[in-house]
Chains A and B, each alone.
Chain A
Amino acid sequence: MRNTFIKTLTEIGKKDTNVMLLTGDLGFNALEPFRDALPRQYVNVGVAEQNMVGVAAGLALSGKRVFCYSIIPFATFRCCEHIRDDLAYHNLPVTMVGVGSGYAYGILGSTHHSLEDVAVLRSFPNMTVLCPGDPLEVEALTHGIMKQHGPCYLRLGKAGEPNIHKKPLENCAIGKAITLHTGKDVTIVATGSMLQTAAEARELLETEHISAGLVSMHTLKPFDEEIVQRVVQETALIATVEEHSAIGGLSSAVAQVLSQMSGHAPHLTIATPDSFATDTGSQKFFREKVGLTAEKIAASIRHYLPAHA
């Protein structure tokens, strides 16, 4: 995902010299294409994320469009109040780009995991929160950011995620979820890099003759309430899948919509627990442990269905 992001941003930056990329001294083997092609639009601000956000605000107040890059906890929590005051309060066109969503930096430990970031940034007025599900969504949404004003948080996986969509997304717009499949028994709504796992889970269910739909909720703010309202009328179960805490992320956003409705399908939350890691391992290890593999997602849905469908 991050390589697609940098490739896309480099293309955009070549056409628009007001586009700038700042980094908090991270991005080795990733940011070089932008840095080398557009050295005057690139600044390494050092390991100083608060200053990075303030500088981005000052640049944006002077007419620039700025992207700030770091690993998620440093691009969000470390400079949280600077994002709130300098970017959101000022409503400036600055995008915080965080890499390593969820357990992507597995063995590096809880300091590098990101399971609460969406909850925090979604709560700030003016913020757009984007969690693309594959490189094609990254490309489309990066172009989408350029079409809007105001601050944004772009939550990326790491590297090597496959494309889930079959072709470039011409009509992918911020705030509009993408329906990949429709289904009668369950609709899986996935966000971020869980899209791939959710797609695999859907296929497993289909082999068992469970009619399963799949929606990519790439934008968590502004939230596509309409698609949720439709899904819970047309399907027997809505299952949300995210590599983020159940507090404040996709599940919360869906529950908020459902709380205003009656007579809708039940909602199954599949998310990470409200806890830090108690041991270490790869992203695969953690996903297995918390039930975020295709098999376990399918099992959770299967377990839920007989009682509620």
Chain B
Amino acid sequence: MGILLKQELADLEKKSRQIRASAVEMVCNSHSAHLGSALSMVDLLTVLYFWYLKVDPKNPKDSERDRFVLSKGHGGSGLYATLAEKGFFPKKELETYGKDGSLFAVHPSSKMVPGVEASTGSLGHGLPIGLGMALAAKLDGKPYRTVVITSDGECDEGSTWEAILAAGHWKLDNLICIVDYNKIQSFGRTEEVMDLEPFAEKFRSFNWSVCEINGHNHEEIAEALHKAPLEKGKPTAIIAHTVKGKGWSAEMENTVESHYTPPNQNDVDRLKSCLS
């Protein structure tokens, strides 16, 4: 038997379907981009927010809360849908996403949306910020955990590797970095644009513990989070193998186009029909 009870698994499945449908609808209505990047991490967000993270929507600034930083801010629609589902704000507010005067920009701002821990959008910022949060917890003797989701593309950024180097050096075993490894970045496949392999080895050589999982399998995600830190005194990297645009459509999944093309009303209807 896995770490999740049968009912927990079913509940998580339901949540992830709802979050996917919300994200697709938001991006459709605003006729914007980056849906593929949001959908590849929906299962990660689902398990984080509905099984792992100690966060309270009624007390979003609780000093003891776990911290989550979405470094790949362009997946903001996925985060907003998750936070709404969790109860940080009414789901109806998602309808304003990307509209004039809305607080829901494509890239999330912690000044505008409750539950967003850090404003991101420029790549290579989230892991250093998460590092500071994890370091503060160590200095203050607080038990909270810090989780950062980065994209694979932003692992091209030097600042990401500055942070990986420092986290290993500082032995921040209260820090988890999940890489949403959907293997497609802005203008092509990672192996063609800037190959990250041997990826796990890179983290290990920077003194991290690493595990690789199927980033759409809730059981595997929960298991990896539960086991962290995999080694005392080492930060944990979870390399989550994912599919860009997961759950969108057979045509759009695993394509560069899913980074740019907005979904249409048929996509929205199809995903919503799966909710019941």
Binding site for B on A (CB under 8 A): 40, 43, 45-46, 48, 50-51, 53-64, 81-82, 85-86, 89-91
Contacts and interface: CB of A to CB of B under 8 A. Distances in A.
8 contacts: A46-B162, A46-B165, A48-B165, A51-B159, A51-B166, A57-B129, A85-B125, A89-B109
Contacts of A89: 109, 111, 119
A240 B134 CA distance: 46
B110 A48 contact: no
Contacts of A51: 128, 131, 159, 162-163, 166
Nearest to B109: A89
Q: Interface centre among B109, B122, B159, B169, by most A CB within 10 Å?
A: B159
B178 interface: no
Given A58-B132, A61-B118, A50 B159 contact: yes
A197 to B, nearest CB: 38
B139 A54 contact: no
A50 B128 contact: yes
Given A50-B158, A55-B132, A61 B139 contact: no
Contact of A43 (B67, B135, B163): B135
B131 A50 contact: no
B127 interface: yes
Given A45-B166, A48-B165, A57-B132, 12 more contacts: A50-B128, A51-B159, A51-B163, A51-B166, A54-B159, A55-B128, A57-B118, A58-B131, A61-B133, A85-B119, A86-B125, A90-B110
Given A48-B165, A85-B125, A62 B111 contact: no
A58 B129 contact: yes
Interface string B52-69: 000000000001000100
A62 B140 CA distance: 10
Contacts of A61: 117-118, 129, 132-133
Interface of B: 63, 67, 109-111, 117-122, 124-125, 127-137, 139-140, 158-159, 162-163, 165-166, 169
A41 to B, nearest CB: 8
A218 B88 CA distance: 43
Nearest to A66: B132
B137 A91 contact: no
Nearest to A64: B136
B162 A48 contact: yes
A128 B111 CA distance: 19
A62 B69 CA distance: 13
Contact of A58 (B134, B158, B162): B134
A85 B129 CA distance: 11
B111 A90 contact: yes
Contacts of B134: 58
B117 A54 contact: no
Contacts of B132: 54-62
A86 B128 CA distance: 10
Given A58-B132, A58-B136, A85 B159 contact: no
A50 B124 contact: yes
Contacts of B166: 45-46, 48, 51, 55
Contacts of B63: 63
B134 to A, nearest CB: 7
A130 to B, nearest CB: 23
Q: Interface centre among A56, A59, A91, by most B CB within 10 Å?
A: A59
B135 A55 contact: yes
